[in-house]
């Protein structure tokens, strides 16, 4: 159930949503500031403020840019695709590495991150004086700190040298904000997560609280933060609590879902494997007038095959989409003998060869599409708003197979408890194959391959390649340059009339 999200319009009246444009993440105009002063009068208004922070997790800009879509487009598993070489240019330029400070997806990702930080900071400041039940106040505070850490983790990985803002900034001071070294951002991220952990719930009532942060989400996020900094021992310790006995149940009730394919069924959202899930709904009545206002999953229409036509009733009921993020031949070949193939990749090439379908060949067509996100007739929306913008399929931000493989990597990196590390890898493969006959030795290369296959299309591959130092060799043929493309450029509009400076990777000084 999509229980944490509300439409953007609800919080507009509170003056909280003024942060979506360049430099606007720091700015509250006088009207918004006045409205905000009269808000947060009770627990319900504090809850509305919390929901406004969560809304940024599923941010979808008017240019259709999302974090997962961007990371997929920039990886070796997908091309940008679409209708032509200029279709959603922000995806095209990261796919072929022709992005620049003035051209690319970084503007939306910067706005998303700092909009989330801004909303979290406002809520944390206001909560102190809100008359409400004390335990709920502690929980709201913990969730806001978790979310601030979540947004900053993306920002520091994408941009490196960024402003570190932990309280609302007055409009007259917005142009004087300075960047800090990445190390300082990580210190704050760790602090926020640790402070949040105490008052986050261990479990959720899914009928009323699905999508909210838990202790498992906090520990998994902290493990990722440690791993990114190569603090492998600390990372393994955090993951171990969430993961529990390999193949069993973790401290907070998480366990691998029985079926890999079942992970991507609408009926199984917020399942036992889900740690932190990006929630979408078909009830926000999103329309073309404000794509960013919809709370339907735009990737469901974007990744579907263009001009799709079923000639045989046995063919899948894909909705005709826009053919973005076609799967590369390389990923298909890597997965072609893996049982996870059918739940990951839609093989339109084979369906057409069999005479079951026809489809229009989009830009950079391979015949392979992302099954995990392709929209279906069986769950498209035909009510208020535009069908294309109101698909309800959730996305995983963190799930247990992800943390299993990360813990195994952390243990291998420190050469500690390799028996457990092997068991974590085995559990992921056993679930995929349905038996224990397809296990492989614990090596870094095998872990890398397993992450590529298990998490394909879920937005992890680009970040993994950068983290491992493999991006220059793997993505070099696409145009990736070592010492430059490990970070996105700071958007050029953020450099105008501010004290923010471009990073060294992109010709600046930071």
Locate 425 and state its tokens.
């890898």
Express the helix, strand and coil content of the chain in percent, nearest 5 each. 50, 5, 45
Can you tell me the distance from the alpha carbon of 327 to that of 76, in angstroms, rounded to the nearest whole number?
9
Can you tell me the distance from the alpha carbon of 267 to that of 1, in angstroms, rounded to the nearest whole number?
10
Contact 493, 27 (CB under 8 A): no
User: For 85-124, what is each residue's pLDDT tens digit?
Assistant: 999 999 999 999 999 999 999 999 999 999 999 999 999 9
The whole-angstrom distance between residue 456's C-alpha and the CA centroid of its chain comes to 13
Contact 456, 341 (CB under 8 A): no
Q: 37 or 154: which carries more pLDDT confidence?
A: 154
Sign of CA dihedral 118, 107, 182, 407: positive
Write a three-state SS string for 216-246: HHHHHHHHHHHHHCCCHHHHHHHHHHHHCCC
CATH of 1-65+105-200+480-510, one of 3.40.309.10, 3.40.50.2020, 1.25.40.890, 3.60.15.10: 1.25.40.890
Q: What letter would DSSP give residue 198?
A: T
Closest residue by Cα to residue 71 from 458, 505, 487: 458
Q: What letter would DSSP give residue 277?
A: E
User: For 63-80, what is each residue's pLDDT tens digit?
Assistant: 899 999 999 999 999 999
pLDDT at 36: 64
Q: Tell me the pLDDT of the chain averaged across its residues.
A: 92
Can you tell me the distance from the alpha carbon of 255 to that of 295, in angstroms, rounded to the nearest whole number?
28
**Predicted confidence (pLDDT) at residue 153 exceeds the cutoff of 80:** yes
**Predicted confidence (pLDDT) at residue 9 exceeds the cutoff of 70:** no
Pairing outcome for strands 162-163 and 179-180? antiparallel
Tell me the average pLDDT across 389-409.
97
pTM listed for this prediction: 0.93
The whole-angstrom distance between residue 27's C-alpha and the CA centroid of its chain comes to 25
Helices (H), 363-470: 400-413, 418-433, 444-454, 461-468
507 phi/psi in degrees, rounded to 5: 90, 5
User: For 310-353, what is each residue's pLDDT tens digit?
Assistant: 999 999 999 999 999 999 999 999 999 999 999 999 999 999 99
Per-residue pLDDT band at 191 (split at 50, 70, 90): very high
Give the residue extent of every domain in the chain.
Answer: 1-65+105-200+480-510
pLDDT at 259: 97
Can you tell me the distance from the alpha carbon of 273 to that of 257, in angstroms, rounded to the nearest whole number?
5
To which residue do tokens 């063919």 refer?
Answer: 315
Determine the angle formed by the axes of helices 444-454 and 400-413, rounding to 10 degrees.
170
Contact 389, 222 (CB under 8 A): no
Can you tell me the distance from the alpha carbon of 251 to that of 375, in angstroms, rounded to the nearest whole number?
35
Locate 138 and state its tokens.
């502690």
Per-residue pLDDT band at 357 (split at 50, 70, 90): very high
Locate 421 and state its tokens.
């590390």
Can you tell me the distance from the alpha carbon of 197 to that of 195, in angstroms, rounded to the nearest whole number?
6
**Bridge partners of residue 78, in order along the sequence:** 327
Contact 392, 280 (CB under 8 A): yes
**Predicted confidence (pLDDT) at residue 14 exceeds the cutoff of 60:** no
Per-residue pLDDT band at 187 (split at 50, 70, 90): very high
């Amino acid at each position: 159930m999509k229980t944490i999200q509300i439409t953007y319009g609800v919080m507009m009246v509170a003056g909280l949503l003024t942060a979506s444009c360049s430099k606007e993440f720091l700015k509250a105009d006088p009207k918004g500031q006045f409205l905000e002063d009269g808000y947060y009068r009770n627990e319900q208004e504090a809850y509305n403020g919390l929901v406004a922070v969560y809304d940024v997790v599923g941010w979808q800009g008017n240019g259709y840019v999302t974090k997962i879509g961007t990371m997929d487009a920039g990886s070796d598993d997908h091309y940008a695709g679409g209708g032509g070489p200029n279709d959603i240019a922000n995806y095209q330029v990261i796919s072929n590495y022709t992005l620049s400070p003035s051209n690319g997806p970084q503007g939306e990702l910067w706005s998303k991150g700092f909009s989330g930080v801004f909303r979290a900071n406002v809520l944390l400041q206001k909560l102190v004086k809100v008359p409400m039940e004390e335990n709920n106040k502690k929980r709201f505070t913990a969730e806001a700190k978790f979310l601030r850490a979540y947004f900053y983790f993306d920002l520091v990985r994408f941009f490196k040298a960024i402003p570190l803002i932990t309280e609302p900034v007055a409009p007259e001071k917005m142009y004087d904000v300075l960047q800090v070294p990445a190390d300082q951002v990580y210190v704050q991220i760790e602090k926020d997560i640790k402070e949040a952990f105490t008052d986050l719930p261990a479990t959720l009532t899914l009928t009323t609280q699905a999508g909210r942060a838990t202790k498992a989400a906090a520990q998994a996020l902290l493990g990722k933060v440690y791993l990114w900094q190569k603090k492998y021992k600390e990372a393994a310790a955090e993951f171990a609590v969430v993961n529990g006995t390999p193949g069993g149940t973790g401290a907070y009730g998480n366990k691998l879902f029985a079926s890999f394919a079942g992970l991507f069924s609408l009926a199984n959202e917020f399942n036992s494997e889900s740690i932190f899930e990006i929630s979408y709904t078909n009830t926000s009545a999103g329309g073309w007038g404000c794509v960013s206002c919809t709370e339907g999953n735009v990737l469901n229409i974007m990744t579907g095959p263009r001009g799709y036509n079923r000639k045989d009733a046995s063919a899948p009921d894909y909705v005709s989409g826009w053919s973005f993020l076609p799967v590369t031949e390389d990923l298909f070949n890597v997965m072609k003998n893996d049982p996870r193939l059918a739940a990951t990749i839609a093989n339109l090439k084979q369906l057409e060869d069999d005479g079951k379908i026809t489809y229009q060949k989009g830009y950079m067509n391979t015949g392979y599409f992302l099954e995990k996100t392709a929209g279906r007739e069986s769950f498209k929306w035909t009510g208020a708003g535009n069908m294309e913008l109101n698909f309800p399929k959730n996305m995983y931000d963190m799930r247990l197979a992800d943390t299993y493989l990360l813990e195994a990597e952390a243990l291998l990196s420190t050469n500690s408890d390799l028996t457990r590390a092997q068991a974590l890898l085995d559990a992921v493969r056993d679930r995929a194959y349905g038996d224990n006959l397809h296990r492989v030795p614990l090596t870094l290369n095998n872990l890398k391959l397993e992450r590529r296959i298990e998490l394909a299309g879920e937005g992890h591959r680009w970040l993994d390649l950068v983290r491992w130092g493999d991006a220059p060799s793997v993505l070099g043929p696409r145009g990736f340059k070592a010492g430059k493309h490990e970070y996105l450029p700071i958007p050029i509009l953020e450099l105008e009339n501010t004290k923010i400076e471009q990073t060294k990777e992109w010709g600046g000084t930071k």
